[in-house]
Amino acid sequence: MITRTKLSAIAVAAALLVTIAGCSGGGGGGSSTSPQGNLPNIAAQKKLGAGEGKLNIIVWAGYAEDGADDPTVDWVTPFEKQTGCQVNAKTAGTSDEMVQLMRTGQYDGVSASGDATLRLIYGGDVAPVNTSLVPNYATISDFLKMKAWNSAGGKMYGIPHGWGANVLMYNPAVVTTAPDSWSAVFDKNSPYAGKITAYDSPIYIADAALYLKATDPSLGIKDPYSLTEKQLNAAVALLKTQNANVGEYWSDYTKEVEAFESGSSVIGTTWQVIANLVQSDGKAQVKTVVPKEGVTGWSDTWMIAAKAKHPNCMYQWMDWITSAKVNAQVAEWFGEAPAQTKSCAETSDPAFCDTYHATDAAYAANIHYWTTPQTACVDGSGKTDCTAYSEWTTKWQQIKG
Amino acid sequence: MEFSRGFRILLRVCMWIGLAILYIPLILIVVNSFNQSKTFSFPPTGFTLEWWIAASHSTGALNALATSIITGVGATLVALLLGTMAAFAVQRYRFFGRQTISFLVVLPITFPGIVTGLALLASFSNILGPLGVGLGIGTVIIGHATFCIVIVFNNVQARLRRLGTSLEEASADLGGTLWQTFRYVTFPSIRGALVAGALLAFALSFDEIVVTTFTAGPEVQTLPIWIFGNLFRPNQAPVVNVVAAVLTIVAIVPVWLSQRIAGDSVTSRV
Amino acid sequence: MAADQGVAKRGPVSAFFATRPKTRLGLLLAPPLLWLVVAYLGSIVVLLITAFWSVNGFTGAVVPTFQLGNIVSVFSEPLYREVTLRTIVVALSVTVVDAVIAFPMAFYMAKIASPRTRAFFLVAVTTPLWASYLVKAYAWRVLLEPNGPIDIITGGHSPGYGLPATVITLAYLWLPYMIIPMFAGFDRVPSSLIEASADLGASTGRTVRSIILPLVFPAVAAGSIFTFSLSLGDYIAVTIVGGKTQLLANLIYGQLVTANNQPLAAALSIVPLIAIILYLLAMRRTGALESI
């Protein structure tokens, strides 16, 4: 009967679909199924060709301003005019989102922090960068080159963009005594219960670990990203206690701006750009402070996709964003230290680089930059009993409950 | 009257309370579009038209609107075609698996958006990716059409059920070809259901965000995606508000029109 | 005229199809079935298959070897059980709230309002569907914020952001989806039955309880399908008004994006899938699927 024949035809088609899916192996083009030691063999681009007319990049909010947020803050339009590459910038709130977006293969590049870079490198999603094709690379701060998070196998995998710290922000109208310690957000009996905010990503566990490093030496935490099972559990316990006092977690930075302005958050971890935005909006006053236990931070790198559809535009972007003037603009807008040494002469605030310790290698070395935790401890000790990021993410969902 | 006066008054009060609940947030949206404060502080700090002016200049919003209209029309057309065909098949013929078809058609709209989105993304990447076809407007239309089919299907099926086959048989008996029968007899009778179904399907596609996020790829920005990206931005949130206010006010026209065209007192089926 | 046309030949196409109802049926069914079964259900099957795969912990690349680890953890991890329970409770609460609010509204619109005002109310109830879902959720965020309208009205007792706010917002968003089928259901109750009941001396309450409610119940069930399934799968409204609350769809999204663990996300998706299918099957018995 027709119906039966049709049904079997459909069954065959469905089976075909399934087989195809099975053969191609699901999402992600990673070449290695073995642990991190296997560096994919991808060649860097040899020559710079003509621009392709388009560029799709994944960026942290504030890194690719085109005048939409503030008409005077725009370094994308001049780039588009000069190179003819139309920029399509997708904002991501966390490194995890960035990695996942890069995996789709639809983007040419990304401004990756240290907790995304190694995942991208070993996942075969990014290619090494031919630094001779990026003239501005020469004058970038030396202490940002060939670091553990942006290089592998002796090759640079990106162009450094800038770096900064995750500081503590508070509303002085409510938090009347200026806090100097992260205990303000970790204290079980915090007076601001219900109005504390924290960053919505498993990498925030490192902040808890950093706090425990100072307050509970018996745990023996040296590096907040190299945590043994016992140390991880202690950090998780601390975060579960904090969860009871948290009002909202944020990953979209403007959600934190709105939360502080409406008063639903009064204290929590932040990026400097958020504090700047709240201040300039004028609806609420905020202050930032670097607590005594130290801070985590990020050091961002522009990376190019392994199979970028518009590689020449991407190289042109990487050179543009690290040029003296533009790097200064980004740094001032976002509130971070520029990677370009020449930018210090271009900032509108002459003391900017001093405030952010932009050329102070010693200061830079004291920030605990985001990096991806692995079983082979990232502190270089050679031990292999550390917990990996996948475990951190499972614990993170349990913390939020 | 069959119902006591007290009961009727009670119902009328409930009706108006319900309408109030429905409209207070919408009124707030319109009020806030004139609110001077960028963060919608309440009570409003002042009256301003600057957001309306900014919205009319916003190329992002206008482009997103155009994209949404294109995908909406595309999805609605596909849904109209497939939904009507399925409705005719189920309503006019008896065959094995008839009940299953109705069940099947309903599934896409009842499955959580994230599951549909995930599934479609997995299929598109695995099947279209190797062929070099990327995610774009086409994949969005496919995603939307899938859950819009049920809307058209339900409306047309309900209508066909009430219609009966006598008119069509008469037309055939009088020598009408299939096309003539459809064009002069069937189509005018189901036109109201088609319009109602099409409007609701369009509305569903127009406002859809979850499945769209997974099937759109980097270059397609429908209106909901644009809104989602700008909702929390202090400088853009008021513009988003204006866009929403305009949409709501403008929507009264097609909804009212569909009411008129549908004719009978029973309105569209969800 | 008609007699003449009766003698004229029908087109060859029509003649062909006139004697082949099964071919007509086949042609009518093929495209929709192809779309729904092959494309859509096929995708779901692909998704379910990936649930049995795993990821390389470091690179995030999917490893297509069959293993039961994800399924086991989905059904044994206390976190997933807790969040599933929470989500189902939210979905049911939203359904109940919507049913309670929609019932008198649909009743009034179908049975009490005059035909002219009925058209007005129908338009009034359907129009909010066109306002953006995101903006409506955000409007509730503003309504519920500290020192916002609800805080002022209740004298400082706004529920704030959390589970109650999520239920309120979701109930608001899906209300029209409950009203419309219920209206259709009420409309189908023949007035003659109600009149007969009154003629036989039944009070209003008795008529509603014994005549109207049973007839309208399938429509209520139909509406509940939408409110239940839409709430079960929502992860956006809860991000906007839910504070730090996690629902099932947030977990799925988190595993997909944060953890880059697509197989586990697929495995977690099985839970709402089963819930929906069970709910649909239950509602099917009430005849709801005919009343959508």
What's the pLDDT tens digit per position in B184-229?
888 888 888 888 889 889 988 998 998 998 888 777 889 998 888 7
Backbone angles phi, psi at A113, to 5 degrees: -85, 170
B152 and B79 in contact (C-beta within 8 Å)?
yes
C chain contacts of residue A264, beta-carbon cutoff 8 Å: 145-146, 160-161
Residues of chain A contacting residue C46, judged by C-beta atoms under 8 Å apart: 17-18, 21
Dihedrals phi, psi of B208, to nearest 5 degrees: -75, 135
Q: Given this model, what pLDDT does residue C103 score?
A: 94
Which range of A252-256, A297-301, C157-161 scores highest in mean pLDDT? It is A297-301
Q: Which residues of A touch B97 (CB under 8 A)?
A: 3, 7
pLDDT (0 to 100) of residue A35: 41
Task: Report the pLDDT value the prediction gives residue A31, as an integer from 0 to 100.
Answer: 36
The arithmetic mean of pLDDT across residues A319-343, rounded, is 93
What per-residue confidence (pLDDT) applies to B59?
A: 79
- Record: contact C46-A18, CB cut-off 8 A: yes
Contact across the interface for B234 and A262, Cβ inside 8 Å = no
Helix (H) or strand (E) run with residue A88 in it: strand A86-92
Determine the pLDDT at residue A37.
Answer: 61
pLDDT in tens, A11-33: 444 444 444 443 333 333 333 33
* Cβ under 8 Å to B: C residues 69-98: none
What is the band of C58 on the pLDDT scale with cuts at 50, 70, 90? low
Question: Can you tell me the ipTM of this complex?
Answer: 0.84
Reported as half-sphere exposure (CB side, CA atoms, 13 A), residue B160 has a value of 22
3-state class of A160 per DSSP? strand
CA dist B54 and B241 (Å) reads: 11
**What is the residue type of A299?**
S
Q: What is the mean pLDDT of residues C53-66?
A: 77
The residue-averaged pLDDT of A232-251 equals 94
| A237 and chain B in contact, CB less than 8 A | no
Averaged confidence pLDDT in chain C? 86
C14: pLDDT strictly greater than 80: no
Q: Which residues of B touch A106 (CB under 8 A)?
A: 134-135, 217-218
φ/ψ (deg, to 5) at A307: -115, 50
Higher pLDDT: A325 or C116? It is A325
| CB-based contact, A173 to chain C, within 8 Å | no
pLDDT given for residue C2 in this prediction: 46
B39/A24 CB distance under 8 A = no
Nearest Cα residue to B39 out of B240, B249, B248, B246: B240
**A54-60/A86-92 β-pairing:** parallel
Residue A382: partners with Cβ closer than 8 Å, 6 or more residues away:
none
Please tell me the distance in Å from A146's CA to the nearest CA on chain C: 21
Give the residue from C144, C258, C262 with the most A CB atoms within 10 Å of its CB, the best one to mutate: C258
Question: What are the residues whose beta carbons fall under 8 Å from the beta carbon of B255, sequence distance 6 or more?
Answer: B199, C123, C126, C127, C130
Mean pLDDT across the stretch A105-117?
91
* Least confident among A122-126, A185-189, C17-21, C152-156: C17-21
Residues in A touching B126 (Cβ below 8 Å): 20-21, 24, 26-27
Query: Does B126 contact C at CB distance below 8 Å?
Result: yes
Contact A248 C45 (CB under 8 A): no
Residues of B in contact with A197 (CB under 8 A): none
Put simply, the answer to whether A247 touches C60 (Cβ < 8 Å) is no
Nearest CB among C33, C160, C258 relative to A393 is that of C258
Q: How does A109-131 read in b/e, with b if 16+ C-beta sit within 10 Å?
A: bbbbbbbbbbbbbbbbbbbbbbb
Instruction: With beta carbons under 8 A apart, name residues in chain A contacting C143.
Output: none
Which residues of chain B have a pLDDT value below 70? 1-2, 38-42, 232-235, 261-270
- Dihedral Cα C71, C77, C83, C85, nearest 10 deg: 80
Q: How is residue A210 written in tokens? A: 């950093």
C136 and B CB contact within 8 Å: yes
In angstroms, rounded to a whole number, what is the distance separating the alpha carbons of residues A179 and A187? Answer: 12
Q: State whether residue A21 sits within 8 Å of chain C by CB.
A: yes
A26 and C53 within 8 Å at the Cβ level: the answer is yes
Q: Is there a contact between C273 and A37 (Cβ–Cβ < 8 Å)?
A: no
Question: Residue A120's closest chain C neighbor by CA?
Answer: C59
Chains touching chain C through at least 3 C-beta pairs below 8 angstroms are A, B
Alpha carbon distance B30, B23 (integer Å): 11
Angle formed by the axes of helices C163-188 and B5-32, nearest 10°: 130
Name the closest residue on chain A to residue B228, using Cα atoms.
A252
Closest CA to C289 of B101, B191, B84, B145: B101
Residue B97 per-residue DSSP state: T
Contact residues on chain B for C116, CB-CB shorter than 8 A: none
Question: C34 touching B, CB under 8 A?
Answer: no
Task: Name, of A358-367, B90-99, C100-109, the range with top average pLDDT.
Answer: C100-109
Q: How far is A329 from chain C (nearest CA, A)?
A: 30
Interface touch A88/B218, C-beta < 8 Å: yes
Query: Cβ(A200)–Cβ(A96) under 8 Å?
Result: no
**Tokens 């970790």 correspond to what residue?**
A186
Q: pLDDT class for A238, splitting at 50, 70, 90?
A: very high
Q: Which residues of B touch A88 (CB under 8 A)?
A: 218-219
| SS3 (DSSP) at C86 | helix
- Asked if A118 contacts A371 with a C-beta cutoff of 8 angstroms, the reply is yes
Cβ–Cβ below 8 Å for B265 and C115: yes
Kindly state the average pLDDT of the residues A58-78: 87
Cβ–Cβ of C59/A122 closer than 8 Å? yes
- Mean pLDDT of all residues in A242-266: 88
Answer whether B142 touches C (CB < 8 Å): yes
Q: How far is CA B186 from the centre of its chain?
A: 24
Interface residue C202 vs chain B (CB under 8 A): no
Q: Is residue A214's pLDDT more than 90?
A: yes
Predicted confidence at residue B187, as pLDDT, reads 87
Residue of A71 and C127 predicted with greater confidence: C127
C136/B25 Cβ within 8 A: yes
Chain C closest-CA separation from residue B68 CA (Å): 12
Nearest to A400 among C57, C244, C255 (CB): C244
Q: Give the closest of C37, C63, C244 to A243, CB-based.
A: C244
Out of C6, C112, C276, closest to residue B110 by CB = C276
Q: Which chains are adjacent to chain B, needing at least 3 Cβ pairs under 8 Å?
A: A, C
Identify the closest residue of chain C to B154 by CA–CA distance: C292
CA B14 to chain centre: 27
Strands (DSSP E) found in chain C: 54-55, 62-63
| Residue of A59, A253, A281 to mutate when probing chain B, most B C-beta within 10 A | A281
Residue closest to A324 by CA, chosen among A1, A58, A32, A75: A75
CA-based nearest distance B46→chain A, Å:
14
CA–CA dist A144, B253 (Å, integer): 59
Name residue, tokens 């109602």.
B196
Please give the interface size between A and C, counted as residue pairs whose CB atoms are below 8 Å apart. 146
Tokens linked to B11: 């119902």
Interface touch C243/A32, C-beta < 8 Å: no
Pick the more confident residue, A184 or C54.
Answer: A184
Minimal CA separation from C252 to chain B, in Å? 8
Contact residues, chain B, for C108 at CB < 8 Å? 11-12, 14-15
